[in-house]
Amino acid sequence: MFDTPVLNVAIGLVFCFAAMGLAASTVTEALASLVKLRANTLVSGVQQMLNDPKFEGLALQVYQHALVHPQGDGGIHSRSRFWTYGGPSYIKAENFATAMVDMLQKTPGDVAQIKASVDAIGDPQIKQLLQGMLARAGGDMDHLRKQIAGWFDTAMDRVSGTYKRQAQLISFLIGLVLAATLNVDATRVVTTLWANPALARQVASEVSPLTSETATVKEAVTQLQVLPVGIALLGACDGREALCVGGHAVHRVTMLGWLITAIAAVFGAPFWFDLLGKLVQLRGAGPKPVAAAPKVDA
């Protein structure tokens, strides 16, 4: 059994990051839902895709289509943003393409009308793009829709990256606030567990059953209390600290520990719980049994 101080300290630290990652991601999802982050990022991406920053031209017309905004009343406008915004959080590429074609044509299948509508578009870049699609489609509406859908998918890849970066930034800030509020100092966790092997072994034993599928925020935070965390560990201000908050001394090393914890939280709970499971499995693994020699008949 690999019950070593190094492995026990690693398990305690990884669990600390997993618990904070779970708490930070839960708060991030709640905040993203409150401010409609997905929907707002999507509509901003469509605005950039169609070069409609004021949301008064092509993007607005597409969003007023029932396939794109099925719950809309046709009155969506640029002021309907953030927590007051009721737009979709996801648009299927096929629906977007159909909405674009419907917007450009007056009569279904009227290729001449689509060409006239495209030629009337004021933005030269979008006009050139759609003119090229029309030429390649050769009057085939299904081919035109497939081209528009492919264009939309490419644009949404960038939107997904934008949303991920925004969520990571929010998760980092929330993780930093939680680390400071709960005084989850990664440097103190490591030094304390290393100096106290018995505590490190106890922590490693108690957190072993937790996984990303079964752990809840309440359970993870409760288990976090077995680690050397908490405001009481800060001590009283004595004039030598880098920061004094509410009579508690905060030193530069402590701030560094909070920063490390916040950065670790950005990786997310699944990453840390997966690593925790591997470390726990390694800790509990015994020597590989020797295969019995095959019997040889005399």
Least confident of 15-24, 103-112, 175-184, 268-277: 103-112
Residue 19 lies in a domain: yes
User: Terminal CA-to-CA distance of the chain, rounded, Å?
Assistant: 39
Whether residue 23 is found in the same domain as residue 43: no
Residue 68 has pLDDT above 60, yes or no: yes
Least confident of 101-105, 190-194, 288-292: 288-292
pLDDT band at 57 (very low <50, low <70, confident <90, very high): confident
Residue at which a domain ends, from 158, 190, 213: 158
Q: Taking residues 99-103, what's their average pLDDT? A: 89
Same domain, 120 and 83: yes
Within 13 Å of residue 249, how many CA atoms lie on the same side as its CB? Answer: 11
Decide if pLDDT at 286 tops 50.
no
140 and 97 assigned to the same domain = yes
Residues 59 and 152 in one domain: yes
- Predicted confidence (pLDDT) per residue in 198-239, tens digit: 988 888 887 766 666 666 777 777 778 888 888 777 777 776
Q: Are residues 123 and 45 in the same domain?
A: yes
In which band, very low, low, confident or very high, does the pLDDT at 265 lie, cut at 50, 70 and 90?
A: very high
Helix (H, G, I), strand (E, B) or coil at 110: coil
Say if residue 25 is in the same domain as residue 42: no
Q: Which of 109, 125, 158 is the last residue of a domain?
A: 158
Q: Are residues 61 and 28 in the same domain?
A: no
Residues 135 and 191 in one domain: no
Q: What is the CA radius of gyration of the chain?
A: 28
Judgement on whether residues 41 and 11 belong to the same structural domain of the protein = no
Cα of 295 vs its chain's centroid, Å: 57
Q: Is residue 293 part of a domain?
A: no
Residue 298 — pLDDT band, cuts 50, 70, 90?
Answer: very low
Query: Which of 112, 137, 158 is at the close of a domain?
Result: 158
Q: How many domains does the chain have?
A: 2
Do residues 77 and 146 both lie within one domain? yes
Domain enclosing residue 54, as ranges: 36-158
Residue 86: what pLDDT?
Answer: 72
Q: Does residue 122 form part of some domain?
A: yes
**pLDDT-derived band of residue 246, with 50, 70 and 90 as boundaries?**
low
Q: What is the pLDDT of residue 221?
A: 77
Match 């648009």 to its residue by tokens: 91
Indicate whether 296 belongs to any domain: no
In this predicted structure, what is the pLDDT of residue 70? 74
- Asked if residue 10 belongs to a domain, the reply is yes
